[in-house]
Structure 1
Amino acid sequence: MNIRRFKTLHEAGATYADIARECGCDWRTVRRYLADDAPTHPPRGTSRAGTQQRAITDDIAAMIEEMLRADITIAASVIHERLATERSVTVNYQRVKIYCSTARPIIRDELGAEDSGLGNLHRRFETIPGAQAQVDWGDEGDLFGTGRKVYSFHMVLSYSRDPFCCYTHSMDAAAFWGSHIRAFAHFGGVPGSIVYDRTKTIVRKHVRPGHAVPLHPAAVAFSGHYGFDIDVLAAYRPTGKGRVERQVKIVRDHVLAGRTFTDLTDTDRTFMDWVPVRRAQVHRTHREVIGVRADVDHAALRPVPAAPYLVAEAHLRRDGNDSLVSFEASLYSVPADRVRAGQRVQVRAGADNIAIATLDRDGGTVLAVHPRSQVRGAWVVDQAHWASLPDGHTRATTDGRHDHHTDPAGPTADIDDSDPLTAKVISLVGHIHVEHRPLSAYAV
C-alpha cells in the first residue's frame, strides 16, 4: 500500500472514494492515512491473539497438490474450504494461496495443461430483496463417463447471491421450466423478475436493436402462471447477468472440481450439501453473510402458486403404419383403432412422461401416455393399443391329413365347430385329395 500516492492524488483534488478505487483499498483507509495524526507507514502484520495458524507442512502440501492434480484450475479458496470441511485441517488462507501460486505452474507443466482466461468490464448494479433473479445454463460435458452430456441449470437471487443449481441431460423446454419449479421450491418463493439470455425457449425470434423482443408463448404462459416478469438481455451482453455467470464457475469449482459422480441424483445431492457452506460465507461484493442476506431475500419473494404449471414441450409427428410414433429416436405406441396411418399427432414431452394427442380444435384428445425413454432407440409399447390389429391367429394350411395352424399363440388354436356351416366346411376339407408332385416337375 503506497501512502505517498494517497497524498499525491489527494493534492490533485481526488476524493477518498476516487483514491480508494485507484489504489484498491477501502476509503476509510485512505481517510485514516490522510488525517493530520496519520501514521507514517502501514502497520506490520500481526497474528490475532489466541489463534494458532498452521504452516504448510509436507502433509498439507501433499493434500493441496493432490487437489491441483485432480483439477489444475481449482481455486485456492476452494482448496482452503475443502481442507477445513473435508480434511479437518486449519490453515491460513493466505498461506494456501501463496503455496498454490508456486505449485500450480509446476504441476501445470507436469500435466501439460494450458493457462487461459478472459476478462470483461461491466457496470455494477444492486437490487432490492426479492426483486430479481438471474438464470443461466452450464455445459458440464460427459460428467458420468457414459457418453451422454450433462447440463447444469443455475438460478441466483440478485440481492443475496443465494444460489440454486440442478443437473439435467437436456436443455429443452421441459427441463428448462421444470428446473424453474425446483428453484422456486428451493427458495420458497418467486422473484419479481428473472433475467435471461436470448435463448429459443424465451425469445420467439430475433429482431433488430431497438425493437421489442417477441417472447415465446410458452415463456409468457409460464411467467404469467408464477407471476414474474421476463427481462431479456441485449444481444452479446452476458455481463448483464454477471451474478449467475460468476455463480456457474463458483459451483463448478466448489462442487464438481476434483470429484467423480455416478448420476444426476449424486450431483444434485453434492450441491445441496455445499449450499450451507456457501451461505455461511461473507460475499466479497456486499460484504455480508450470504445466509443472513438470503433470509431477507426469501421473505420478500412472492408465494408459489398452489397448482404447479404443467410443463410440456409440443412436437408434431405422424403415426406410422404400425401404430407407432417416433420421438427422440424411440417409438411410442398409440391405440390402433383411434388413429389412421400417416395421421398427424402432437407429442407433449414432459420431464418424465410422453403424452400423444390428436390435433383437434378443442385442444386435442390424449391418445396415450408413456414414461419418457431415457435411452435412444427404445420401444415403449402398450400391448392393449394393438388389440384391434390382426395377429395371424386365423391363418392355417392343410395337406388333407393334418391341419397346420400359424397361430402365434401356438399350433393348437381352438376352432368352434358347433356352428353347422363351420362343421360342414371342416368335413369337406377332410375329404379333399391333394396331389404331391416332385420338385423336378417345376424345373424350367
Structure 2
Amino acid sequence: MNQYEQLRSNLSQLNLQNLAENLEYYRKLVNNQEISFTEALLALTQQELKYQNEERIKRSIKRARFPIVKELAEFDFNFQPSVNPKVISEFATMSFLDTQENIIFLGSPGVGKTHLAIGLGVSACKQGIRTLFINCHELLLRLTRAKEKGHLERVIRRYERYDLLIIDELGYLPIASEDANLLFQLINGRYERKSTIITTNVPLSSWGTVLHNQAAAEAILDRLVYRSHVIKIKGKSYRLASAQN
C-alpha cells in the first residue's frame, strides 16, 4: 500500500469517508498547481463538515419518528389564511423552548395541523434539538403497557427527556379515564421543564368529555395552557379540496 492509499485508508478509519472520496479530485488540482494545498484542505474540510451536519440532521429526523417528513416551506398559507406565517416562522426559531412554552394546534381534520407540527419538528431536528413525534393513541398504548409491566416511571422519564415532544391527534379516538391519568402524569412531568406540541380536533372546553375524566382534563389543560400558544385553524380541509379537484 503506497502513501496515498494509506491516507485514504486512514481517512476511512477516521469515519471521514466523504473526505476520502473527494481527496483525488483536490489532489489533482494541487498537483496541477490550480489551487494551493491550504485551499484544497480548506475545501475538503468544509465539505466534510457540511456532509457530517447533513448526516446528523438525517439521523435526528429518523429518530424523531415522523410518519412523513414535511417542511414548513411546503405549507400553503394562502389556503389557510387563519394561520399567520410570521407566527409560525417565529416558532421555527425554537425560541419557545427557551421559556418552556407549549403549542396547541386546534382545528378540524385535514386543515394542516399535523403538517405544521411536523414542520416545526423537522426545524427542531435541524437545530440539534432532541425531538419525538408520536400519535396520542400510540403514546397511551405505550404508557398503558409500561404500567402493566411495572415500568411506567421509567418510560415517562424517557418521554420527559425530549426537548420537544409532539403529540398528534389528541381526541381522534376515545380516551379512557385511566389513560387520561397517564397522560396527565406525562404532561405534569414536562411542566415548566420541556415544551410540547399537541394537535387536536377537540375544543379545549370539551377535553373533559373526550378524556372521560374532567379532573384529569382540567389538570392537563392547567399545565399545557400556561405559557402556551393556541393556534386555531379555521380553514378548509386540504384532503377534501384535493378530492374535489
Q: What TM-score bracket applies, with the shorter chain setting the length?
A: under 0.3
When normalised by structure 2's length, the TM-score is 0.27
When normalised by structure 1's length, the TM-score is 0.17
Highest relative contact order (Cα 8 Å, sep 6+), 1 or 2? 2
